[in-house]
């Protein structure tokens, strides 16, 4: 395509064929390291091509845009994109190319949807931060939480044809997306088992402030329920004791929405019976109020059980936080 006259490079060059996958993501407070392949976890199951994945497949035309959803992709999930078929990039000088595109011929500038990715290849794009990557015939196993290496992460994953002009293309790619997920060690992480507004087992509360559960009030991040804290003074948190395997890497995720008038939010894990955290992150001052994701990587050390917490130091006047979808998993 680089042999074509510049008149062919028009404003519609950004109409690359995009598959949009709706995924749950948000602000990454603590940078997540790439997931290691621990036997049984999502990365290990992907690398060993285990059958327990969520799958999506579609025929992506070289000339069309397709919008679809794969549903509730969780942090720590591992994605693998594979593709076959071929697309002709049009014009007298065009050629048929497979999903790996024009080998060793990266797109040189912003007239191409994915700079640095092979021309005419299948590429991926994290929509929130705009980061693109080579998907090709096989993307390999991508850790969802760490693959978003630029910016604050993505709400959607796009997959498209890296061509600066699409209207004269023909052919298609047959694309498969597989997703492996990690099971969480948190019990009732979405607070869906809570039947009343009183916070109850396996959850506990710390501090004297008002805290409890919003039951089917339309305030949750997902599902029906969420936990909340509302107070004006002191330290308050929702907590749970979680069993872990000693000397393994774990990742904690939680979704929070705040009143936006404080900066003293903190979350993390600590040894049972101790006040000093083993690992922690911070949050707060989120305005306007909307749910944001917290992520934290930590090593369990010699411990077989830890207390996880999400809370904040109140600023001295009315403030609140809503908490949902708390997870901890080995990675």
pLDDT in tens, 46-97: 999 999 888 888 888 887 664 444 545 566 678 899 999 999 988 777 899 9
Evaluate whether residue 113 is within a structural domain.
yes
CATH number at residue 54: 2.60.120.430
Do 169 and 243 share a structural domain? no
Same domain, 173 and 213: no
Give the count of domains, the chain: 2
User: Does one domain contain both 255 and 122?
Assistant: no
pLDDT tens digits for range 263-304: 999 999 999 999 999 999 999 877 788 999 898 999 999 999
CA dist 15 and 64 (Å) reads 9
Q: What is the structure's pLDDT at 71?
A: 46
User: Looking at the structure, do residues 114 and 15 belong to the same domain, yes or no?
Assistant: yes
Residue 261's pLDDT band (cuts 50, 70, 90): very high
Residues 175 and 209 in one domain: no
Task: Establish if 232 belongs to a structural domain.
Answer: yes
Q: What is the pLDDT of residue 145?
A: 61
**Is residue 124 scored above 50 in pLDDT?**
yes
Indicate if 227 and 148 belong to the same structural domain: no
- Per-residue model confidence (pLDDT) at position 318: 97
In this structure, are 52 and 150 located in the same domain? yes
Q: Which residues contact 228 (CB under 8 A, 6 or more apart)?
A: 211, 212, 213, 214, 219, 320, 321, 322, 323
Do 217 and 154 fall within a single domain? no
Average pLDDT value over all residues in the chain: 83
CATH classification at residue 298 = 2.60.120.260
Whether 246 and 155 map to the same domain: the answer is no
Bond prior to 202 in cis (omega within 30° of 0):
yes
How far is the CA of 196 from the CAs of 32, 200, 264, 327, in angstroms? 35, 9, 28, 22
**Chain-centroid distance, C-alpha 231:** 31
Domain with 118 in it: 6-180
In a domain, 187, yes or no: no
Model confidence band, residue 34 (pLDDT cutoffs 50, 70, 90): low
């Amino acid at each position: 395509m680089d042999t074509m006259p510049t008149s062919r490079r028009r404003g519609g060059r950004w109409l690359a064929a995009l598959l949009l996958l709706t995924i749950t993501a948000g602000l990454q407070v603590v940078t997540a390291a790439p997931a290691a392949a621990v036997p049984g976890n999502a990365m290990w199951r992907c690398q060993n091509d285990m059958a327990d994945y969520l799958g999506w497949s579609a025929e992506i035309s070289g000339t069309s845009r397709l919008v679809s959803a794969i549903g509730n992709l969780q942090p720590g999930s591992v994605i693998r994109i594979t593709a076959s078929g071929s697309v002709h990039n049009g014009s007298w000088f065009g050629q048929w190319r497979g999903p790996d595109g024009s080998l060793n011929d990266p797109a040189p500038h912003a007239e191409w949807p994915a700079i640095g990715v092979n021309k005419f290849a299948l590429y991926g794009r994290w929509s929130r931060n705009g980061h693109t990557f080579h998907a090709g015939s096989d993307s390999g196993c991508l850790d969802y939480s760490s693959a978003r290496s630029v910016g604050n992460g993505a709400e959607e994953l796009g997959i498209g044809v890296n061509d600066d002009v699409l209207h004269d293309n023909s052919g298609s790619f047959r694309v498969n997306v597989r997703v492996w997920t990690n099971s969480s060690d948190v019990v009732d992480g979405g607070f869906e088992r809570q039947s009343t507004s009183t916070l109850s087992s396996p959850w506990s509360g710390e501090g004297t402030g008002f805290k409890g559960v919003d039951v089917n009030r339309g305030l949750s991040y997902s599902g029906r329920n969420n936990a909340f804290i509302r107070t004006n003074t002191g330290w308050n948190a929702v907590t749970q004791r979680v069993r872990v395997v000693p000397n393994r890497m774990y990742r904690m995720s939680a979704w929070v929405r705040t009143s936006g008038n404080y900066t003293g939010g903190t979350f993390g894990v600590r040894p049972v019976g101790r006040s000093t955290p083993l690992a922690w992150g911070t949050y707060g001052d989120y305005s306007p109020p909307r749910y944001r994701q917290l992520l934290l990587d930590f090593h369990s050390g010699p411990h077989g059980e830890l207390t996880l917490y999400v809370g904040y130091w109140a600023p001295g006047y009315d403030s609140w936080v809503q908490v949902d979808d708390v997870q901890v998993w080995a990675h």
